[in-house]
Chains A and B, each alone.
Chain A
Amino acid sequence: MATTCERREFLLKLLQLPCSAVLLSMCGPLPLFADEKKEGYDAGEHYYGMGIQVDKCIGCGRCAEACKAENDVLRQPYYFRTWVERYVVYGDGEVTVDSPEGGIHGFSAAESDREVLRSFFVPKLCNHCDNPPCVQVCPVGATFKSVDGVILVDKDYCIGCRYCIQACPYGARYLDPRTKTADKCTFCYHRITKGLLPACVEVCPTQARVFGELKAMSSPLRRLMRMSQLQVLKPYLNTEPKVLYSELDREVR
C-alpha cells in the first residue's frame, strides 16, 4: 500500500510541474526582466504605421535605393525590403505591372503607341500587420510583433524554415543567403527608436511616404488619416495592415 501511495504522490507532483509552468507563463514576463528598457526609449509609448500617398509617388526609386544602403540589403535584384511597382491601365482594359530591379533605377517610358487610360506608381513594403500571418506561423517565435507594433525577425533565433515567407500575402519577406534567415523591413527600427525617420521616408522627394504614430493625437500620420480616405492591401485576408494607402487603385494587389 505504501508504495502505491508514494507513486500516486509522485504522479501528482509530476502533474503539478507543467501546471505551474503554465501559470507562471500567464503572469507574463517575470518582474526581474520587466524594467529592462531601451535607454531613453519607451516602446510602450509608440505605435507605428506608415501612410503612402499613391498620387504623390513619381517612381524615382530613391526609397528602394536608400533602404538597401541603410539596411545592408543584398544588391542583387531578388532581395527587397521596399520596392516600387508601376501600373499601366490601357484603353482596352489590359493592365500591366512592372518593377524592374524593384524600381531602384526608376522606370523607362511605357509603350507609346497604345492609349493609356491611367498609370501610377505604388511603393510597397512590409505592412507590419496587426494580425500578422508571418508571426502566427513561425514555429519558434523568431519573428514577432514588438510592443510598438513593428514586425521584427530575430536572426540569431530563426531556423530558416521559410514558412513565414510562404505565409506573407504581400511578398515582403525573403531569405538572406548570407545568414540563411528570414529578413524584411523593420521600419528602420534602429533609426525610429532614436527619433529618426525610416530611410525610405527620409529620402522621398515628394513626401509620398508619411511615417509616424498611429495612435498619438498629433502626428503627420494622424493628419493624413483625418484628411484622406485610406485603404489597405488585400483587406479580405484580415491581416490588418498598418501601412495605409490613399488614392489606391482597385488594380493594386
Chain B
Amino acid sequence: MDELFKQLAESLSQVSGFIYPNEAELHWALLVVIYPYLTGLVAGAFILASLEKVFKVKEVEPTYRLAMLTALAFLIVAPMPLLAHLGHPERSFEIFLTPHFESAMAMFGFVYAWYLMVVLLLEIWFEYRADVVKWSESQKGWRRLAYRLISLGSNDISPKAVAFDQKAVHTITLIGIPSAFLLHGYVGFIFGSVKANPWWSSVLMPIVFLFSAIVSGIALVLLLYYFTTLVRRKTPEMSCLNKLASFLLYTLIVDLSLETLDFIHRLYESEESIKILSELIFSKLFLSLTIVQILLGTIGPILLLAIARFSRLPDELKRVGYFIAALLIQVGIFSTRWNVVIGGQLFSKSLRGLTVYKMQLVGAEGLLVGIGFLILPFLILFLLVKLLPPWQESRSS
C-alpha cells in the first residue's frame, strides 16, 4: 500500500488545476486499454472471415481459417486482463450467478460465452470436422488422440455429412456477424454510456469501436497471412492481399469519417466540457491522439494503402506497402484504445483540472504484464495453428 500512496503523492504533485480529492487515483489503467484492443481484434478477424462465407468474397479464402483461429486465440486471452484488473477476481463468477441486469458490464459474461461457445468454437468445429476425422486416421501417437478428442466421436465424412458441415458453417456465420457486432459494439457501449464522463459519453462510441475493430482485425490477419506465408517459404496470393488492402482502406476511411464526425459534433455543440477537453487534446493527448492515432495510425496508412493498391508498383513493393500500413494501423488502433480509456480519466469531472497517468514497469498492472497479455494470444495461435493447420495444402480433401 505504501507503494500506492507514493505513486498517488507523485500524481497529485503533477495535477494542473483542480481535481476532486478522490480523483488522484486513475482507476482503469493499461490492462483496461488492452481489453478493448483484444476484443476488437477478435471481432475484426471474425468479420473478415465472414466475408468469405457469407458475402462470397472468394479472394480472401486463403485467410478464412487463419482468421477464425486468430479470433479464437485472441478471444481466449481477452477477459484475462479484465480479470487481473479486478480487486477481487475470485468473486468474478458473481457476474454469472447474480448479474445485475441494469448494468452494461453484467452482460459481459453472457456476450462472451455466447460468442466463444456458440459462434467461434462451433464454427471452427464444423469447418475442421472432416479434416480432423481424416487426420485422426492418418496421424499417429498423441496427435491421433488429440484429433479423436476434437472430433467428439464423429467420423462420418460422406459427401452428405460434409455438405451439412458447410451448411452449418454458413448458418453460424450468419448468426456470428451480428454477434461480432454485439461483442465489440457492447464494449463501446460500456464507455459510451457513462454520462458522468463527457469524453466517453457518446452515442457514436459503439459504432466507432466497431469500425476500428474491423480495421484492426483485417490488418492483423493481413500481417499474419503475409508473415506465415513467408515463414512457410510460399508466395502470398496477390489477389488475396489486394482484396484485404482494399477492405482495409475502405473501413479505415469509414472509421476516420466517424471519428471526424464525433470531433466536429463536439466542437460544434461546444458544451461546458469543451474547454477542458481541448486542453486535454492539446496537452496530455497531443502525442498519442494527434501524432500517433490520427497521423501515423490513420492518415499515413490510408495514403500508403491507396498508393500501393491503385498504382502500378511491382507486387513486391505493394506487399511491403501493405505490410507497413497494417503495422502502423495496429499501433494506431492501440493508441485509439489508449486515448479513450486513459484519456477519459486524465481530466477531472469537475472539468477544472488535468491529472496524469504514470505507467508502472512491474506490478499487477505494469507494462510487463501488459506486454505478456499482448504476446499470449500469439502463443495460443501458434499452438492452434500446429494442431489445426489453416493452410490450403494441409487440407486432406
Residues of A within 8 A of B (CB): 76-80, 83, 85, 96-99, 101-102, 124, 133, 135-141, 157-163, 165-175, 177-181, 237, 253
Contacts and interface: CB of A to CB of B under 8 A. Distances in A.
B87 interface: yes
B62 to A, nearest CB: 41
A97 B23 CA distance: 15
Nearest to B98: A140
Contact of A169 (B25, B95, B105, B196): B196
A61 B385 CA distance: 63
B27 A162 contact: yes
Given A78-B24, A102-B21, A168 B196 contact: yes
Given A158-B87, A158-B88, A159-B89, 19 more contacts: A76-B5, A78-B24, A79-B22, A97-B350, A101-B21, A133-B195, A135-B102, A136-B103, A158-B91, A159-B91, A161-B86, A161-B87, A162-B87, A166-B197, A167-B194, A171-B20, A175-B25, A180-B87, A181-B88
B113 interface: no
Top 4 nearest A-B pairs (CB, nearest first) are: A160-B87, A171-B20, A180-B87, A169-B196
Interface string B13-30: 000001111111101100
Given A76-B8, A169-B195, A137 B105 contact: yes
Contacts of A80: 21-22
Contact of B99 (A139, A157, A179): A139
A160 B95 CA distance: 12
B92 interface: yes
B167 interface: no
10 contacts: A97-B18, A133-B195, A136-B103, A137-B103, A138-B103, A140-B94, A140-B98, A141-B98, A160-B86, A253-B351
B216 interface: no
Nearest to B18: A97
Contacts of A99: 18, 20-21
B143 interface: no
Nearest to A162: B27
B352 A253 contact: yes
Q: Which of A137, A139, A172 has the most CB of B within 10 A?
A: A139
B21 to A, nearest CB: 5
A192 B378 CA distance: 56
Contacts, number: 132
A170 B91 contact: no
Nearest to B25: A78
B350 A171 contact: yes
Contacts of B8: 76, 78
B104 interface: yes
B269 to A, nearest CB: 13
B284 to A, nearest CB: 18
B362 interface: no
A145 to B, nearest CB: 12
Interface string B63-93: 0000000000000000000000111110110
A107 to B, nearest CB: 13
A177 to B, nearest CB: 5
Interface string B96-117: 0011101111101000000000
A181 to B, nearest CB: 6
Given A78-B8, A171-B349, A159 B88 contact: yes
Interface string B41-55: 000000000000000
A138 B100 contact: yes
Nearest to B23: A171
A163 B12 contact: no
Given A171-B20, A171-B23, A180-B87, A139 B195 contact: no
Contact of A159 (B27, B95, B104, B197): B95
A96 B18 CA distance: 8
A175 B23 CA distance: 10
A181 B351 CA distance: 26
Interface string B349-361: 1111000000000
Contacts of B22: 78-80, 165, 171-174
Contacts of A173: 22
A98 B17 CA distance: 8
Contacts of B94: 140, 157, 159
B348 interface: yes
Contact of B21 (A83, A160, A177): A83
A139 B100 CA distance: 5
Contacts of A83: 20-21
